[in-house]
Structure 1
Amino acid sequence: MRFLNNKIALTICLFVFSGVMNAQEIIPEKTVAVSTTNVQGQKQKIDGVIATVGDFIILDSDIDKGYLEISSQGNSIKDITRCQMLGKLLEDKLYAHHAIQDSIVVTDDEVKKMMDDRINYMIEQIGSMEKVVQYYKKDSEEEFRTYFFDILKENKLTEEMQRKIVDAVEVTPEEVRTFFKKIPTTELPLFGSEMEVAQIVITPKVSQEEKQAVIDKLKEFKKEIQEGASFFSKAVLYTDDKGSASNGGFYKMTRKTPFVKEFKDVAFSLAEGEISEPFETEFGYHIIMVEKIRGQEIDLRHILLIPKVNEQALKDAKEKAALIKKRIEEKEITFAEAARTFSDEKETKANGGALINPKTQDTRFELTKMDPSLYGQVSGLKEGEVSNPLMEEDQKGARKYKLITVTNRINEHTANYAQDYIKIKNIALKEKQIKEIGRWSEEKIKETYIKINGEYRDCIFTNNWLKK
């Protein structure tokens, strides 16, 4: 979604428990599945219910589907036993069951968007929709989509339930200190070499002529649609918002949906069937048509056009970046002051251009885990050295120039409370969240109807699924 607020998303760690302790694979021979005999006289197992968790059932074939899903994500299933897979499925069903009990809502539209993204990725990896259907051993695309929709909806319910469990978990500075003191000196974690990086971004200016050309094109689209042309088709063919192009620019939105303010203001000012005039956001120029209003929720379609930057504007941006670099090197201005004064990147200019690591939410980047493109830009820089102007193209195809510098290098070292407080805090928080997940699971297993059938009752589970 190209016009969402540029805020760093809060990442919630999803906890996956192995579910069993033994490494022996259990081949179910006493499940409730029925056996029949084929023409060669060999016995074939017919699928049957092997477990029930609340309102959910688990079939023997669900274990095989679990293996298939893990494999489809590029992960190895070599050492995962059927007992372990059942343990994981039991956990997923427990989360999903209580998500529904707690009135957690996952809409079909959310799931369809997730499904489209996943399927598009799989097609890129495998080559075609036909191959995806064949990989999942389905007879048709429709059958595959129905099957995959159910999997993703249950996964989303599981994720939202886990999120709800850990959302309220916090750690105080005193808890962090206590956690760190309990770690034996010989077991303190080793943190790899890190660096702190800052950048100044110079965005080429779009000419007024190009802006007007885009506005005129959107006005032309509006006129043609009002005269009977399809908004859906126009969006598919022309929008620069690739995330919504395939469904004709369609979005559902409420006042709480994290679209930029200008977009929401226009959307909620329109009546059903009305098309807006072209308007500008930080992402480009839009027109919106509202299809349906249901209280505080609206269905809309939009077309985004991004004005193009000409070569002269690119040249001017590069020259501006080079001049800033010269002033920094001549000590006329510091890098941080230059970032606050000249950078066009809202997210970093206020803090002197310092980049935030999206995985850790601090300013440090571990070299072995750094994004390869960023590593390539900074690996050859000495501390305090400023790069030459670097041209970068974002996912929208927009080009810009940036200067980048390494503000601090931290060598590989054993964890230090003062130096590594944020990392230690994150580890302490994760441990507390895992304990909360464990406490919740133990409590919910006791109060939830759970039944395991056949030979799977011989599995040795970490969680008390058998309620012994």
Structure 2
Amino acid sequence: MLLKKLQLKTIDYKLILTMCFLFFFTSIISAQEIIKDTVIKKPVEIPSGHKQKIDGIIANVGDYIVLDSDIDKGYLEISASGGSTKDITRCQMLGKLLEDKLYAHQAIQDSIVVSDAEVRSMMDDRLNYMIQQVGDINKVVAYYKKNSVEEFKTYFSDILKEQKLASEMTKKIVDAVEITPEEVRNFFKKIPKDELPTFGAEMEVAQIVVEPKVSKEDKQKVIDRLNAIRKDVLEGSSFATKAVLYSLDPGSAPNGGYYKMTRKTPFVKEFKDVAFSLGEGEISEPFETNFGYHIIMIDKIKGQEVELRHILISPTVSEDALKDAKERITNIRNKIVNKEITFAEAARTESDEKETRANGGTLVNPNTQDTRFELTKMDPTLYSQVSNLKDNEVSQPILNTDDKGKKTYKLITITNRIDAHTADYAKDYTKIKELALKEKQITTISKWFDTKIKDTYIKIIGEYRDCNFVYNWLKK
């Protein structure tokens, strides 16, 4: 039964993460605010089967409060997203809200800081998402029963700050959990043979990438453009506005180029080297990475953490350069097909992709950090490129455009296929380690709640004291 218990725990953990994601985007958690002794004039409509409650404070966690209407909003949001609420009790919903409040409360005790810049960035993302769903910000304002956009933004910024505190606290707990090979081995040994998990069909893939050559003149045009932007900012223009207008980085441009990072954040080395060489308020000279050319401005430095904004501009690739790149990669393919060179050798000597060429072009799965890709979980674009390939067949040259608009040509081949199979410790160590780590993280979070609940002021009012919570919120 060990695996079944693990699977149940994993499902519970995934449910928690899913709900966190849902709450993060739809914001059902109320921020701390002054509550007047009044009753809502227009009851919130909730799904059938759940009785309407008179609004008021039903719980305190440290300095945070939970309102009865927060639970109703939870049902509304889940229902609006197409989920079923019939199996979710008010006690379960309250339990989730209490967890989030305790995370946020403890984040403050641990001196975790969420900056105004982060909240503004989150605000922009959430508002854009909401407006895309309903088409008008005034509908969003009306949904949250606020009188104006400004009133809503003030209210919503408190919600987002609380959510970010909870998210950072959760991350701090989980990131601190490590697992040893011995723990992984013991975890696997405890699973009965008839309960071992089955892993789906997988494949290992390798690629060769050829980048079109950009002329010195085109590179200089980008450098000159970034220098002009830098000059404007130094003379008083807004870096954030320039990033929104000109940056080609889709991950940060809508937020004014904003990123928060430490030396462990997975950015390319060249970017981190420049970021950590600057002081607050400084703007870098243009510099190059494999994504293009950047300038960086430092907003804040907090210990080992840096808040920055950046602008990315890539040189335009000419049609002649694309044609030359296609000819080059076609010649490489011909040599492989004619057995003049192996795919792995060609990758090591001819590929322009630094990350894969040392390993003979072998791709690393970004979700698992190993070389296997499960077919049912593979990126759709990659799957479409390899699904019709036979073993050791080399694809025709593929023109690839990434999310930043950078164009390259590549060849792909399947180097190994793994059929669906029962878990094997030696062959599936990475996946087994992931399961073992997840179980340890769940246990660590549970212990964290047990400890912090004892040390925190918590009060639950009225009928909710009869709830059977997962954690000991009532301190019985």
Shorter-chain TM-score range: 0.7 to 0.9
Match of 1:425?
433
Paired position in structure 1 for 2:123: 115
Please, which of 127, 130, 137 is the counterpart of residue 138 of structure 2? 130
Out of 61-70 and 342-351, give the one that drifted further: 61-70
Rounded Cα–Cα distance in structure 2 between residues aligned with 1:83 and 1:71: 17
| Alignment CA distance shift 1:461-1:109 (3 Å) | same
State the match for 1:96 in structure 2.
Answer: 104
Instruction: Measure, in 1, the Cα distance between the counterparts of 2:350 and 2:446.
Output: 50
How far 1:432 moved relative to its partner? 1.4
Backbone CA RMSD of aligned residues? 3.6
After superposition, give the CA deviation of every residue in 1:164-222 in whole Å (9 maximum; x if it has no partner): 22333222222222221221222111111111111111111111221122233344445
Distance 2:303 2:437 in 1: 40
Of the three residues 208, 213, 223, the one matched with 2:216 is 208
* Aligned counterpart, 1:179: 187
What is the DSSP-based 3-state SS (H/G/I as helix, E as strand, rest coil) of the residue aligned with 1:374? helix
SS of equivalent residue, structure 1 residue 405: strand
CA distance in 1, matches of 2:228, 2:466: 70
Q: Which residue of 2 aligns with 1:16?
A: 16
**Residue 341 of structure 2: which of 299, 323, 333 is its match?**
333
SS in 2 for 1:400: strand
Residue ranges of structure 1 left out of the alignment (5+ in a row): 1-12, 20-31
Q: SS where residue 351 of structure 1 aligns?
A: coil
Please give the secondary structure, in 1, of the residue aligned with 2:293.
strand
Give the distance between the partners of 1:375 and 1:350, measured in 2 at CA: 23
Which blocks of at least 5 consecutive residues in structure 2 are unaligned? 1-12, 20-34, 43-51
Distance 1:270 1:18 in 2: 38
Q: 1:166 to 1:343 in 2, by over 3 A?
A: same
CA contact (8 A) 2:196 2:423 kept: yes
Q: CA deviation at 1:272?
A: 8.2
Match of 1:169 in 2: 177
Asked if 1:393 corresponds to 2:401, the answer is yes
Per the alignment, residue 57 of structure 1 pairs with 65
Distance of 1:141 and 1:352 partners within structure 2: 55
Asked if 1:145 corresponds to 2:153, the answer is: yes
Deviations 1:104-161 (A, max 9, x none): 2222222322332233233334434334334444433323333332232222222222
* Aligned pair partner of 1:344 in 331, 337, 352: 352
Tell me which residue corresponds to 1:86: 94
What SS does the corresponding residue of 1:16 show, helix, strand or coil? helix
**Structure 2 residue matching 1:198: 3-state secondary structure:** strand
- CA shift, 1:79, in A, is 2.6
Which residue identity is paired with 1:356? Answer: V
Q: CA deviation at 1:78?
A: 4.0
- State the 1:447 CA deviation: 2.3
Does the aligned pair in 1 maintain the 2:207–2:361 contact within 8 Å? yes
Classify 1:404/1:75 alpha carbon distance in 2 versus 1 (closer, same or farther; 3 Å).
Answer: farther
Cα gap change, 1:124 to 1:342, in 2 (>3 Å): farther
SS of the equivalent of 2:416 reads strand
Letter of the aligned partner of 1:184 in structure 2? P
Q: Distance in 2 between matches of 1:37 and 1:359?
A: 46
What code does the residue aligned with 1:172 have?
A: T
More helix by share: 2
SS where residue 16 of structure 2 aligns? coil
1:292–1:299 CA contact under 8 A, matched in 2: yes
Is contact 2:243–2:256 with CA below 8 Å preserved after alignment? yes
CA distance in 1, matches of 2:84, 2:149: 26
C-alpha separation between the residues in 2 aligned to 1:188 and 1:229? 61
Counterpart in the other structure of 1:4 = none
Higher mean C-alpha displacement, 83-92 vs 275-284: 275-284
CA contact (8 A) 2:40 2:54 kept: no
CA contact (8 A) 1:34 1:46 kept: no
* 2:53–2:69 contact (8 Å) kept in structure 1: no
Equivalent position of 1:363 in the other structure: 371
SS at match of 1:418: coil
Per-residue CA shift, 1:433-468, capped at 9, x if unaligned?
111111221122222221110111121112111122
For 1:126 and 1:102, the matched residues in 2 are separated by: 38
In structure 2, the CA distance between the partners of 1:137 and 1:204, relative to structure 1 (3 Å rule), is farther
Residue 320 (structure 1) aligns with = 328
> What CA distance in whole angstroms lies between the structure 2 residues aligned with 1:375 and 1:368?
9
Q: Distance in 1 between matches of 2:437 and 2:237?
A: 55
Q: How has the CA–CA distance of structure 1 residues 72 and 111 changed in structure 2, closer, same or farther, with 3 Å as cutoff?
A: farther
CA distance in 1, matches of 2:422, 2:343: 31
Structure 1 residues 430, 390: closer, same or farther in 2, change over 3 A?
same
Distance in 1 between residues matched to 2:443 and 2:197, nearest whole Å: 20
Greater mean alpha carbon deviation, residues 218-227 or residues 335-344: 218-227
Larger RCO (CA within 8 A; separation ≥ 6):
1
SS of 2:412's equivalent in the other structure is strand
How far is 1:84 from its partner?
0.6
Query: Residues 324 and 77 from structure 1, CA distance in 2 versus in 1: closer, same or farther, beyond 3 angstroms?
Result: farther
Percent of aligned positions that are identical: 70
Q: Deviations over 1:67-123 (max 9, x none)?
A: 355457665434322111001111111222222212222222223223322332333
Q: Which residue of 2 aligns with 1:23?
A: none
Structure 1 length as normaliser, TM-score?
Answer: 0.82
Deviations 1:305-349 (A, max 9, x none): 211001111111112111111111222222222112222222222
**Offset, 1:234:** 4.5
Which deviates the most, 219-228 or 369-378? 219-228
Q: Distance in 2 between matches of 1:168 and 1:271?
A: 29
CA distance in structure 2 between the partners assigned to 1:37 and 1:107 by the alignment = 33
Q: For 2:67 and 2:91, how far apart are their aligned partners in 1?
A: 13
* Higher mean C-alpha displacement, 120-129 vs 324-333: 120-129
Q: Would the alpha carbon gap of residues 168 and 47 (structure 1) be closer, same or farther in structure 2, given more than 3 Å must change?
A: same
Alignment partners' CA distance in 2, 1:92 and 1:160: 11
Q: Structure 1 residues 133 and 178 mapped into 2: Cα distance closer, same or farther (>3 Å)? A: same
